[in-house]
Structure 1
């Protein structure tokens, strides 16, 4: 089997990124097994406290209680290719609402996405976590 050249690796990774972005916020946790490696790392440096989660089990344990509190779609606005074909930098934004308060949820993100053999193996995501907190806080609290 022929190995992919750098351009083909980048294109494959961009396709995986687009699929991942379109599925986040839908509550479909099944997507993780097909797009992400078992040992993928999720870094959330702006969460309080900052988090580094390793492995699909630890990440899903963290994410599952939050799934369903916000319904949103993510839209990619820019993808930046790097010298390393297995690293992409992406800008995207969310559009949705809190299922708790019905308040709007709109956030902007910058993510460093790492890939290995056509799957996501690392995400370092920068977003404002206070926007989600505000969306889920009932008015007057």
Structure 2
């Protein structure tokens, strides 16, 4: 127990950490249905560093986006650190990826920071920051100069 933090808030935070881990494990397994099960119907998915930046709202739209986006990469995601926030319904998760670009068979690795917000035990906001250069290089058939 954390001193000064109500037991209910600690329990909620612990549940949210488990959901975050389940979400990233589902991506690693290529299991979009399991990934979508972690999302609230009002999910907002954001990739501010994508070119162009991406914002997708609503579970149906997120599912359609991921159906296409996740076909480009096979990834193994590893959580390296979870940062608790004052609000037990917000987590900052650091993680890495290793894998390959499906279309080019080139290796892909990156580091990420995601700010996850939760509502009623499900992810309602996922704002993910990563370096777009490794992704672009892995998707390019010839090495970038």
TM-score where L is the length of structure 1: 0.90
Q: Is the 8 A contact 1:96 1:104 kept in 2?
A: yes
Q: How does 1:13-52 map to 2 (within 5 A)?
A: 13-52=16-55
Aligned length: 138
Stretches of structure 2 that go unaligned for 5 or more consecutive residues are 1-6
CA change 1:111–1:12 in 2 (3 A) is: same
Stretches of structure 1 that go unaligned for 5 or more consecutive residues are none
Q: Write the distance in 2 (CA, Å) between the matches of 1:109 and 1:133.
A: 15
The match for 2:75 among 65, 72, 76 is 72
Higher normalized helix content (fraction of residues) = 2
TM-score where L is the length of structure 2: 0.88
Residue 130 (1) aligns with residue 128 (2): no
Q: Write the distance in 1 (CA, Å) between the matches of 2:110 and 2:67.
A: 20
Residue 5 (1) aligns with residue 24 (2): no
Q: Is the 8 A contact 1:25 1:70 kept in 2?
A: no
Q: Write the distance in 2 (CA, Å) between the matches of 1:52 and 1:42.
A: 6
